[in-house]
Amino acid sequence: MTAEFVVGIMAEAIKVTLFMSAPVLIVCLVVGVAISLFQAVTQIQEMTLAYVPKIVACFVALVAALPWMINLIINFTHNLFSNIPNYVK
């Protein structure tokens, strides 16, 4: 096992991690900006207005993307485990 090989596996792991976290983070970012814009326009400074919609949106995004995320991590793990004999050489 060479250093380049290990770096390649780690790069793939980081890519999978970013792909898994991206849908939820993007939805939370968009909802957060929309709520902040709404609060700035209406001058409503209620703290629960900022948290509750973001939590609900993140939960909905997580539930919607969960099958895709599970498939992504299963494929990565399957490829990693199935190539163990190639890694040992």
DSSP string for 37-48: HHHHHHT---HH
- Cα(7)–Cα(15) distance, integer angstroms: 12
The two tokens of residue 21 are 């976290």
**Torsion angle of alpha carbons 39, 42, 46, 50, nearest 10°?**
-20
3-42 and 47-82 helices, crossing angle to 10°? 160
* Number of other CB atoms surrounding residue 31 within 10 Å: 19
For the chain, the structural domain boundaries read 20-88
Q: What is the pLDDT of residues 5-47, one digit of tens each?
A: 889 899 999 999 999 999 999 999 999 999 989 988 988 888 7
Mean pLDDT score, 73-84:
93
Q: What is the pLDDT of residues 53-78, one digit of tens each?
A: 899 999 999 999 999 999 999 999 99
- Cα(22)–Cα(36) distance, integer angstroms: 21
Residue 77 belongs to what H/E stretch?
helix 47-82
